[in-house]
Chain A
Amino acid sequence: MLEIKNLHANVDGNEILRGINLTIKPGEVHAIMGPNGSGKSTLSYVLAGKDDYEITEGEILFKGENLLEMSPDERAAAGVFLAFQYPIEIPGVATMTFLRTAMNAQRKARGEAELNTPDFMKIVKQKASELKVSPEMLKRPLNVGFSGGEKKRNEIMQMALLEPSLCVLDETDSGLDIDALRVVSDGVNALRSPERSMLVITHYQRLLDHIIPDVVHVMSAGKIVKSGGKELALELEENGYADYVNAA
């Protein structure tokens, strides 16, 4: 599904990613943990195609294709989804309108017919109720005045609607209360499938109690310094990053 080889990326001349290697197979869930500022969000933005980053070395293959040559919307249509650490507000645009525009844009890019209103309403209502997003919230401008937890639930609802093949979740658990964490995790787990891969960025083991990863990576100073099974997260929870940060 995803193959990152020796990826180096700069922001404003500072090297943030310093040789990332990561392979995710279809159906796998990988978690990335690591100290603040280690480059986790940067990696997620580079995957999604944000243009503030200069790729100085390396390559990314997504379903065998050169991801770095694709524009952000092409990547989205090809199946890359990023649940933002800080979702963006879009004043005046009803959440419902945003969802519909996004879904139809992707369908159009893939040469599929646009959804008609009744079909669209039906699936939005279903996904919204699964993620406990109220119909009232769907009418509000996207993310404007949403609480932290509401924004995160909204991100996962979008993910459920867009049915991507690679889901990148950047600290989706932060800001969630205990119940919301369960709702969101259930939402994510419901999307797990042999055709879909996930890259879950988190600081906390508790998310990984719900979304059980196949592989856990530790990122430090722009590199993956350690990879292991789900036990690695437990160990980190216990001992912190000290061992790995020093190693880097």
Chain B
Amino acid sequence: MPAVQETIEQVKEIDVDKYKYGFVTDIEMELAPKGLSEDIVRFISAKKEEPEWMLEWRLDAYRRWRTMEEPTWARVDYPKIDFEDLYYYAAPKSSPGPKSLDEVDPELLETYKKLGIPLNEQAVLAGVEGARVAVDAVFDSVSVVTTFKDELAKSGVIFCSISEAVREHPELVKKYLGSVVPSTDNFYATLNAAVFSDGSFVYIPKGVRCPMELSTYFRINEEKTGQFERTLIIAEEGSYVSYLEGCTAPMRDENQLHAAVVELVTLDDAEIKYSTVQNWYPGDAEGKGGIYNFVTKRGDCRGKNSKISWTQVETGSAITWKYPSCILRGENSRGEFYSIAISNGKQQVDSGTKMIHLGKNSSSRIISKGISAGRSQNTYRGLVSAHRKAAGARNFTQCDSLLIGDQCGAHTVPYIESKNSTAVFEHEATTSKISDDQMFYCQQRGMSDEEAIALIVNGFVRDVIQQLPMEFMAETQKLIGISLEGSVG
């Protein structure tokens, strides 16, 4: 049964006592009322038919969150968020669910088209045989389309919404949820733990190489809906998975909060490759209306020889606060972070990574390419640390910033902590500008300002682009050009 249908059926089945929660709950209601309270947390949990332990986990997080303060250390500046003025639950609007993928709301498919979902993935959505990218689309808060489950199931891979995982695979969720990003981790992660709406769950069994790239497209659709995705990926011993996440959001006036949590776990000899292309609405020329993106992403290389690699292309959002990190616990484990962060207009980006070396001979590599244009501010903030026991730990960091125009800022804030004398950490950083000579040369060959900038910037980020899965490369190169439109002239 398609997920929409499923969800609606489930929601209908819930026997909600309208007085118990202190507000009128209409069974058909798409939104929980504004604001956050224990009742809202219970409401979300009930809508999702969650077991008691899940509700308790949320409530714990909620109570903890009430005692926490928003962090202020990042180099970003925005008006104070009124957390009581947000909605914390929204379901998609389509009423009777489609019977098959062919019957998926054409508007939804249209949206995917606008999001630039590659043809092969649209083919998947359209149910064309032979197309091999599974899409678990998180449309607002509830998974709407889940495909290819059967084929994945054949290899024992579980790829479903986290709500479904809570119901169908409680032992796995209980074991791993919050084991990388504890519900007490930070203000936004704790908020997420209390109210997470939905997200993806992936489990790759021992020795399995996931037969296809797994892909999730996010999109924020409801007015004033905080989005709190929660993703959990577990790669058992000797397994491998590549996961793609891409997102965009439509024009709107009000700032939207997005506080996702992603947890990755790799056991012995396992590898997870996690790629993101983020192009949410960055706001208008004055920065009004863009998304606030406060994300906690962390991977735990729990097993020996395990590997986690993060590749991100961040072009959207008014504010990005994001540090995909690796805990290199296993002996000989490896963490990688490849990042392109583009800021234009009045965007503010504070992003980077943490490589926490705990295991012997663990190694990590960081390549960060920051591009600032317009009046934007772009900060790389990174931590590389070696624990006492991390003998032979190695890190190589390369941080390059490119400035376009003279009203933007690029900042590099690297922290290095080493408690083991055998650890070797290397750090290189450069800051450059696109030269007038380069621009003129390109223009002399016929390129417009914008074409020239797109080309030169794509050259600048080449080392990172090459880390992306094939199907993301061309799309990303285009996106880079689009993101920098209006940065000159």
Chain A residues in contact with chain B, CB under 8 A?
A: 48-52, 71-73, 75-77, 81-82, 84, 87-93, 97-98, 101-103, 105-106, 109, 141, 158, 162
Contacts and interface: CB of A to CB of B under 8 A. Distances in A.
Interface stretch (B109-117, B207-215, B311-319, B433-441): B433-441
A101 B451 contact: yes
Given A50-B440, A90-B438, A92-B462, A97 B445 contact: no
29 contacts: A48-B440, A49-B443, A72-B443, A72-B444, A73-B443, A73-B447, A73-B448, A75-B444, A76-B443, A76-B444, A81-B444, A84-B444, A88-B435, A88-B437, A90-B441, A90-B442, A90-B456, A90-B459, A91-B459, A92-B462, A92-B463, A93-B462, A97-B455, A105-B446, A105-B447, A105-B448, A106-B446, A158-B445, A162-B446
Interface string B128-168: 00000000000000000000000000000000000000000
Contact of B455 (A48, A51, A76, A98): A98
The 7 closest A-B pairs by CB, nearest first: A92-B459, A93-B459, A106-B446, A102-B445, A92-B462, A72-B443, A76-B446
Scoring A51, A91, A101, A106 by chain B CB atoms within 10 A of each residue's CB, the highest score goes to A101
A109 B437 contact: no
A72 B449 CA distance: 10
Nearest to B465: A92
A48 B460 contact: no
Given A73-B443, A73-B446, 15 more contacts: A49-B444, A51-B440, A72-B444, A73-B444, A76-B443, A76-B444, A76-B445, A88-B438, A88-B440, A90-B455, A92-B459, A93-B456, A93-B462, A102-B447, A141-B459
A60 to B, nearest CB: 16
Nearest to B460: A92
A151 to B, nearest CB: 12
Contacts of B451: 101, 105
Interface string B448-477: 110100011011111100000000000000
Nearest to B369: A92
Nearest to B432: A91
B451 to A, nearest CB: 5
B450 to A, nearest CB: 10
Contact of A92 (B436, B442, B447, B461): B461
Nearest to A98: B455
Given A88-B437, A91-B459, A93-B455, A82 B446 contact: no
Scoring A75, A102, A158 by chain B CB atoms within 10 A of each residue's CB, the highest score goes to A102
Contacts of A75: 444
A95 to B, nearest CB: 11
A158 B441 CA distance: 12
Contact of B445 (A71, A105, A141): A105
A202 to B, nearest CB: 20
Contacts of B443: 49, 71-73, 76
B49 to A, nearest CB: 51
Contacts of A87: 441
Contacts of A105: 445-448, 451
A220 B402 CA distance: 41
A162 B441 contact: no
B99 to A, nearest CB: 40
Contacts of A81: 444
Contacts of A49: 443-444
